[in-house]
Amino acid sequence: MAWGLVSMTLRGLLSVVILLSTATSTDGRDVHVTCVFSEDCVLPCSFLPGSEEVIHWMKPEDKDLTIHSYYYSTDQLKQQSQRFRGRTALFNDQIPKGNASLLLRGITLQDQGRYKCYTSTIKGNMESFINIAVEAPVRLVDIQLSDDIITCSSTGIYAEPKLTWSTDPPSDLSFDPGTIQNSTSIKVDDQGLYDITSTKQFSRNLTNICTVTSGTVERTATLKQQGNQSINS
């Protein structure tokens, strides 16, 4: 009887703790994670360790799409959405330590959005939200010269890139539209990534610099003197 009371009180205390932590994790402070296109990404989630773990990873904005479930001490993938088949894993040896993080392989642009991590043990349940942004950083900037026209291009970028021309020493390119022509075009490939291309008249005496920027990543290619090409990144 006395033990029953003690255990009830403990449970009461624990659920207060759990309610508090649920409140802090749902008051809009989502965890933000940036994943790199086509690579693997870990969505972090932790819970107060306890036996009889149940873990559900879901995507609430996609009709609560089931991404990965775990209960009865094993992965439960019957309800898993087709889109995530073969792409998910928990760190099963870490689950007893309260680690419900999810490994998601081969990130696509569709994977962007808000994920829910629901966990439950005999000590109570918790929910946390993880917001995923995907980026495909600018990798290579290609620069080519043909008939006094320089073409600068870069492919497979996300989010939408910007391309700018400059020279070294600096010159005001927009000030002299008679000698400079430029055009930039952007297209989207079948994976949703951006290809960007721009052309400009070659400035003979100057180093011609093309800069492609997306997010925090900026890559540059330079060209000077016909026949001499140098690419830096």
Ligand X SMILES: *[C@@H]1O[C@H](CO)[C@@H](O)[C@H](O)[C@H]1NC(C)=O
CB closer to ligand X out of 4 and 170: 170
Q: How far apart are CA 184 and CA 172, in angstroms?
A: 18
Candidate residues 4, 28, 170, 227; the one interacting with ligand X per rule CB under 6 A: 227
Q: Establish if 173 lies at the interface with ligand X (CB under 6 A).
A: yes
Residues binding ligand X: number (CB under 6 A): 18
Q: Judge contact between 215 and 181, C-beta under 8 A.
A: no
Choices 29-37, 75-83, 108-116, 173-181; region in contact with ligand X by CB under 6 A? 173-181
Measured between alpha carbons, how far is 163 from 159 in angstroms, rounded to an integer? 13
| Residues 89 to 118 in contact with ligand X, rule: CB under 6 A | 91, 94, 99, 101
Type of residue numbered 100: A
Nearer to ligand X among residue 57 and residue 165 (C-beta): 165
Half-sphere CA count of 31, side-chain side, radius 13 A: 16
Sequence-distant (6+) residues with CB within 8 A of 1 are none
First-residue to last-residue Cα distance in the chain: 73
- Note whether 174 binds ligand X by CB under 6 A: yes
In the complex, least distance from residue 3 CB atom to ligand X, rounded to whole angstroms: 33
226 part of the interface to ligand X, by CB under 6 A: yes
* 3 state SS of 60: helix
Site for ligand X in 10-69 (CB under 6 A): 42, 44, 46
Per CB under 6 A, residues contacting ligand X are: 42, 44, 46, 91, 94, 99, 101, 165, 173-174, 180, 182, 204-205, 225-228
